[in-house]
Chains A and B, each alone.
Chain A
Amino acid sequence: MKIAEKKALKRESIIQTALQLFSANGFHKTTIPDIAAKLHMSVGNLYNYFSSKDILAQEIIKYTSEVLGEEIRKINMQDISAREKIRGIVTVYFTMAQEKPEMIEYFLRVYLSNREVFSDGCEGMVCVSGFITEIMIFFDDAVASGELRNQDFFSAFGLFMGYLGGMVFLKGEGVLPKEIEYYIDDISRNIYNALKA
C-alpha cells in the first residue's frame, strides 16, 4: 500500500474514533489524548493529521455531511416520485440513526451545540454543503415536476429536517416508545402532505 493511501486510511480512522468519542462524551469533555489513546497512537502523531481539536471537529462534520449527502444523492438519481423520494430520505436518515448513531448524534449534540468551534472555517453551510446540496436538488426536482409546492427554501427545509432531527433526538433521549423505523410511514406521509402542491 502506498504511503498516501495509508495516511488517508489513518486519517479516516481518526475521524471515526473522534466522532464516536465526541458524540458519546461531548466536545469539551473529549481530549486529543483521549482520541490518541483509543487509536493507540501518540498525541504528537495525531497532530500530524489534525493541527487542533477544532479542526478535527470541523473535518468530522464535513465527513458526516458527505456520507449523508451521498446517500441522498443515490435517491435523487432514481426515477421515482417526490413522494417516494421523501420516504427514501426519511429511511436513510433513520437507518443512519440506528446503524451509525454517532453521525446523527454528532450533528445534533456537537455541531449544533458548540457553534463557537465551527465559527471560523465552518460558517453557515460551508461544512455541511454536501448534504444541503442534495436536499436542494431534491426540492428543485420536486417543484419542477409539479409535485411539491413552490415556497421559500428554508420553510420547507426546516419542516423536513427539523422533523427528522427532532425524532432522532427523542430516540437519543430514550423516550420513543417504539423503534424509530416504526415511524417511517407516518412521518413520510406527514412531510409529503405538508409540502405537496
Chain B
Amino acid sequence: MTQTIVGIGTRKGLWFARSEDRRTWQVDGPHFLMSEVLSLLFDTRRETARIVVGFRSSHWGPSLQHSDDLGATWVEHPEGSIRFPEDTDTALKATWQLVADPHDPQVVWAGTEPQGLWRSADGGETFELNRGLWDHPHRPEWGEGFGGGAIHTVLPSPADADSMLVAMSTGGVYNTRDGGRSWTPGNTGIHAYFQPHDEWPEFGQCVHKVARDSATPTRLYAQNHKGVYRSDDDGVTWTSIEAGLPTNFGMTAVTHPSRGDTLWLVPIASDGERIPPAATLQLQRTDDAGATWHTQNAGLPKPSYTNVLRDAAGVDTADEPGLYVGTRNGEVYATTDGGESFTRIVEQLPDVLCVRAVTLP
C-alpha cells in the first residue's frame, strides 16, 4: 500500500497530512511549534526517505533539521547545518528552499536569506556556501522583496550537471553553466515596471517563482510581480504568456511532474489587491506552455479573500499526480484529477508558507 504525505509548513509550525488513498487524511503536528517553516524536502533518493526542514523562530533564529523516520524524530547538526563563513560577517536569517540534486543522490541545494546558494554533499546535514554567486558584483545591488532578500527558487538542470538557475526577488534570475563558478543574469524580456529609470534592467526584477518544464528541461516558466513569462532557452530570454489569464500577478507556479507544457498558476487580483480575482480562489492551468489557459475552481471556496504564497503548492509523486495548494488562512486543498476538482484536506492551521508532497511505496 502506498502512502502519500503532504508536508504543510506554516507560520507557526509544520504539520503532515498522511493518506493511503488520497481521500481520507490523518494529520499530525505541530512539529517545530512557533517556528516559520519556509522550506521542506522529501528526499526519496536514499534507501530510507529523508525529510529535511528549514524553519526559523522569531526568538531563537533559523535552524535546519532532518528526519529519517518520516517525522517521528528530528536531528539537528550541533554546529548548525548552514552557517555563513566568518569572513562574510553575515548571519543566516532563513532557509527558503531545499532541493534534491538530480545528478548526485547525496547532494542537496539550499537557497537562503540573505541571498546565498548552498550545496550539501551529505544529504542536507551540512552545507557549503557557493562563492561564485556570493561574490557576484551585482550582490550589493540586489534588493529585498516584502519577504526579505532571499534565493527562493533553486532549479538544477536535470540535463546538465553544470547548469542551474536561481531566482530571487528583487534580484531576478541568475544562471550558471560551469557548476556554480560563474553566474549570469537571465532576465531579458522580464518587465520591471517599478524601476523608475530603466524598466528593462539587466537584473533587479521581482520574480516570485520559476518552474521548470518536466519534458523540456530548457523550458521554464516565471510568475513575476506583474507578469507571467516563458523561456525556451534555459532561462536566458523570456516572452510573456500572460494573455488569457485573469491577472498577471501571483506568487506560485507549479509544473506537472510528468506532462510537458503543463503548468498551474494561482492568480491574485493585483499587487494592490492581494485577493483572488473576482474573489474566486482558482488555479489557471495551461497544457500548451502558456498559449491558452483555463480556470479550475471546482471545490475551492467562493467568495474567498485568501492567497497562496510562492511555495505553498506542490505535487506528489504518484503515477496520476496529486496537487496540493495551501492558503494563507490555513487550509490545504487537494486534487487528484489535475485540478478539475478539489477537496479540502486540512483547515484551521496557521497561514501556509510551503507545501511539499511525496508518495512512498
The answer to whether A and B belong to the same complex is: no
